[in-house]
Amino acid sequence: MDVIQEVDESVRYRRPNRPFDLDDYTVAAFTAVAALAVYLRTLAPTVTGEDSGELIAAAYTLGIPHPTGYPLWCIVGKLFIELLPFNSVAWRVAFMSAFFSAATVYVVTLIIIKLTRNRWAAVAGALALAFSFEFWEQSVIAEVYSLNAYLTALCILLVLRWQDERRPGLLIACGLCLGLGIGNHSIIALAVPVIALYALALGGISREILWTYSRAVAAFCAGLLLIHLYLPIRSMANPPMDWGNPETLSNFWDVVTRAQYAFIMTDGPRSLPRFMEQLQVFAGIYSQQFTTGIGWLAPVGIALLARKRLGPAILLTLLFLAFAIGAILIPNFGFDRMAIWINTTYWIPAYLIAAIFLGVVVATVTSLPASRALQRVLAITLTLTASALPLATHFQQNDKSRYYFVDDYAHNVMNTLAPGAIFFGDSDHALFSAMYLQIVEDLRPDVTIANPYGYPVEKIYSAMPENVKRTFSKRPTEADEAVILHWLVHESGRPVYSTAKRSVEDSVTANAGLLYRYTPPGMEVTQPPTWNAYKWHSLDETDIHGDWTAELILFDVHFARGRTLLDEGQREEGIEAFDLAAHFSRADAFGLNNLGSAAAEYGLTAKAIEYFSAACDVDPHFVVASRNLGKVYLRDGQYRKALDQFEQALALAPQDEATQKLKAYCEQKLSG
């Protein structure tokens, strides 16, 4: 029997206690295995960018990564690490992402079958999700979003089944999944009020249903509380990865509420025009997920589903809006590339729901009056279109099977460090990859990573005078960090390095391969071999495939190489390397500003103006770049242009006293 077909009457009216038959499960399994096969072909073999390194290290040690701590993910990750006895630890955790993405595809297939009774449509919608850009991207690296997608889909299926079957256990299980899910990623919390209100609207008020509601709420609370007990319990064991040290109530609260990152939600302005621009960004990102055109069939699916099953149409639409708009309003993301890149992953649950609506569209088209042969041709054609187009379009970008940029960079950074070094990382790809190598692969245990959680940890400055340490904030500020860095350079007796240049009073700053090294004046330095000892799988731009972290690494490489060449007196080659770095940092105002600062230090005035101007173009609100551009103009005697830049900087930061003084000096020069 052909199981991929619209079901017959005996299946359409199956008993409530058997919502699916064997053929349905077979189709769902086939679809999931097909997705998993593609994920395995494109799976990252080692550590990748962003949070990958610290997440793997946290799972490996049952530790605590960045807030909110992700306790459920760490526990499940540890299970995958221990149960898979082959390949690298990083590969095993990436496989976990692939597994739960395939499991999500399985559940989405069942959801569409339940809503449409059409297996072809279910395969089409589920595979459209499987090979959508962001979902696939997160399926082949170590990240938290695949497990989140699985739990989201599972909750939707449980609610839809409860609506039809009214078995209390289904709603209770949904409550438990939601509570546990928040322990994986808090974005799933956006579904809680929608599902709760939907259940109330369906169930009404009676003694029996209130008892079901109360047990579902209890299950939610139990899942939420029990999974978060992991944080203080594991923190008390002092694992190598112990972000926020959530052993006390205040530290625990800071971790689960992301207090360290509160500035993300509070710093940016909030206004209706900004929100409308953010909606436009979402629309543009959304249109890329299923390839142009396909994704915009989802609103048609809403209308089609509403005609047949109004309740599920309302539930899914409200969930889509909750995930889409909630992931805009809460982080209030900016419009630079980094902010948008990070925010796109929060919308994956919205893409999941859109895929369900796509399945509804396919089901409707294939059920139009026509011969059975024509219906089957339509079903096959639409299924292939919905799956093959995203597969072909996104394959190259999401193929991480030969992705070694981060791993190579981390090894080369670690090999740059002198024995017993103290290392300050200034980017996720530098810091988290070093932590992965040290904690998981036991590489360079002699090195101390000074700021594993984004700020200096107390163990590196424990020998400082108590009266100085008492002045530091709970999480040392930039000013505190400057004091700590100065003390380390002058008093620790250990070599100190960083990935971004820092100002350390009364010290010598020298380029050391990919890094900067700081030493007291007059100290003799023996630096390990750098550029000739570095090894790379690839530094070819054609191998980046749009990966932002790879671009950042190539920027770092060419920027550092340019500084080395300029130190050696190779001016033209150094400028060429700087221009290559600028190419890879064309959408990164911070990188361009750093290039401008370096160019100014090397006396490359024209290049400094070029890079600072580019930084201001990328981010017109970047006060530092605007002020730096003014300084270069001032040093070059271009007082009118300098004054214009200082005025622009003051328009953005009116209380900046340093810029006020520079503006006054320009006005004095211009007045004669």
- CA nearest to 72, candidates 141, 139, 144: 144
Residue 211 has pLDDT above 50, yes or no: yes
Q: How far apart are CA 413 and CA 567, in angstroms?
A: 20
Angle, nearest 10°, between helix axes 428-439 and 405-416? Answer: 80
Q: How confident is the model at residue 2 (pLDDT cuts 50, 70, 90)?
A: very low
Tell me the average pLDDT across 370-397. 83
In which band, very low, low, confident or very high, does the pLDDT at 15 lie, cut at 50, 70 and 90?
very low
Q: Are 135 and 147 in contact (CB under 8 A)?
A: no
What is the arithmetic mean of pLDDT over 645-659? Answer: 89
Instruction: Please report the pLDDT score of residue 6 as a whole number.
Output: 40
Task: Please provide residue 260's backbone torsions phi and psi, each rounded to the nearest 5 degrees.
Answer: -65, -25
50 versus 55: the higher-pLDDT residue is 55
pLDDT (average), residues 16-36: 90
pLDDT at position 575: 96
- Check if the beta carbon of residue 455 is closer than 8 Å to that of residue 475: yes
**pLDDT tens profile 120-173:** 999 999 999 999 999 999 999 999 999 999 999 999 999 999 999 999 999 999
464-472: long-range contacts at Cβ-Cβ below 8 A with a sequence spacing of 24 or more?
Answer: 464/491
Average confidence (pLDDT) over 368-395: 81
For residue 361, count other CB atoms closer than 10 A to its CB.
25
CATH no. of 541-671: 1.25.40.10
- Confidence band of 29 (pLDDT split at 50, 70, 90): very high
Rounded Cα gap, residues 378 and 369, in angstroms: 12
What number is the average pLDDT over the span 478-500? Answer: 93
- Render the burial of 522-558: b for 16+ CB within 10 Å, e for the rest: eeeeeeeebeeebeeeebeeeebeebbbbbbbbbbbb
Handedness of CA 431, 435, 437, 443 (dihedral sign): positive
248 contacts: CB under 8 Å, gap ≥ 6: none
What does pTM read for this prediction? 0.92
248: left (phi > 0), else alpha (psi -120 to 50), else beta? beta
> Could you tell me the residue ranges of all domains in the chain?
25-398, 405-533, 541-671
Rg (CA), the chain: 28
Q: Is the pLDDT of residue 349 over 90?
A: yes
* 99: pLDDT strictly greater than 70: yes
Q: What is the dihedral of CA 298, 15, 4, 311, to 10 degrees?
A: 0
pLDDT at 267 over 80: no
- Quick: pLDDT tens for 269-319: 889 999 999 999 999 999 999 987 888 889 999 999 999 999 999 999 999
- The pLDDT tens digits for 56-87 are 999 999 999 999 999 999 999 999 999 998 89
Q: What is the mean pLDDT of residues 306-333?
A: 95
Mean pLDDT for the chain overall: 91
Q: How confident is the model at residue 370 (pLDDT cuts 50, 70, 90)?
A: low
Tell whether the model's pLDDT for residue 102 goes beyond 60. Answer: yes
Query: What length is written for the chain?
Result: 672
Mean pLDDT of 390-412: 95
Model pLDDT, residue 13: 37
Q: Kindly tell me if the per-residue pLDDT of 372 is higher than 80.
A: no
What confidence score (pLDDT) does residue 505 get?
A: 87
Per-residue pLDDT tens over the stretch 590-623: 999 999 999 999 999 999 999 999 999 998 888 9
**If you average pLDDT over residues 218-246, what whole number do you get?**
96
Distances, alpha carbon 323 to alpha carbons 190, 192, 367, 463, in Å: 6, 11, 31, 48
pLDDT at residue 439 tops 60: yes
Would the pLDDT of 21 be above 60?
yes
Confidence band for 546, pLDDT divided at 50, 70 and 90: confident
Question: Is the pLDDT assigned to residue 672 strictly greater than 80?
Answer: no
Enter the tokens of residue 672. 């004669």
Looking at residue 137, its pLDDT comes to 97
Q: Which of the four pLDDT bands, split at 50, 70 and 90, describes residue 335?
A: confident
d(CA 65, CA 78): 13
Query: pLDDT category, 5, cuts 50, 70, 90?
Result: very low
- In this prediction, residue 9 carries a pLDDT of 35
